[in-house]
Structure 1
Amino acid sequence: MLLAFSVAPMGSGDSVSAAVADAVRVVRDSGLPHRTDAMFTTLEGEWDECMDVVRRACEAAGRHGERVSLVLKADVRPGRTGEMQAKLDRLDAALERAEGEPGRGQ
């Protein structure tokens, strides 16, 4: 499964960077394949292991405020691995094919 999430404390002031850093540290220490960008962190793994990381990331962020906001999106596809990169590879291939079609590209 691929699981994208963002977590932030509420009631901790304007800056949440320290809380987000603590949450991302949990992800990085998990050993699961992951990617973090400006909006979300994406994990790849089995349901239970991904949800455990999200729970622990929420707990880490929660130490910085009174409440925690969690946004979560999952692509549950049993038996598939390596999809974090494979999906991007398929997208790039589709874009390359489309650029070669008459009336497309440039």
Structure 2
Amino acid sequence: MLAAFSITPVGDGESVGEQVAAAVQVIRASGLPSRTAASFTELEGEWDEVMEVIKHATDAVLAVSNRASIIIKADIRPGHTNTLNEKLESVERHLMS
């Protein structure tokens, strides 16, 4: 499973970097392949693993914020791994042809 998700603290003003960093620490500590960008984090693993990390990352945000909004997009493709990188590599190959 490849999940792209965003956990946004709500009601904490314009700058939420500190709250988001709490979530990113949990995600990185999970050991699952991940990539964090400006608006979303991508996380790859089995369904239960990914959802557990998202839950713990949300709990980390809620420990420093009163409210959170979560967006999750999932690509579930049994039998495939390393889709975090392979999808980008495929696009790059097509751009080069």
Q: TM-score, normalised by structure 2?
A: 0.94
Matches within 5 A, 1:1-106: 1-97=1-97
Shift of 1:86: 0.7
Shift of 1:93: 1.1
Q: Secondary structure at the match of 1:49?
A: helix
- Tell me which of the two structures has the higher relative contact order, counting C-alpha pairs closer than 8 angstroms and 6 or more residues apart: 2
Q: Secondary structure at the match of 1:54?
A: helix
Give 1 or 2 for the bigger CA radius of gyration: 1
- What stretches of structure 2 of length at least 5 have no aligned partner? none
Shift of 1:5: 0.6
Give the number of equivalent residue pairs: 97
Tell whether the 8 Å contact from 1:5 to 1:72 is kept in structure 2 after alignment.
yes
Residue type of the alignment partner of 1:86: E
Shift of 1:96: 1.6
The share of aligned pairs that are identical, in percent, is: 49
Shift of 1:51: 0.3
**Structure 1 runs of 4+ with >6 Å offset:** none
| Separation in 2, partners of 1:3, 1:50 | 7
Q: TM-score, normalised by structure 1?
A: 0.87
Residue type of the alignment partner of 2:66: E
- What stretches of structure 1 of length at least 5 have no aligned partner? 98-106
Greater mean alpha carbon deviation, residues 24-33 or residues 62-71: 62-71
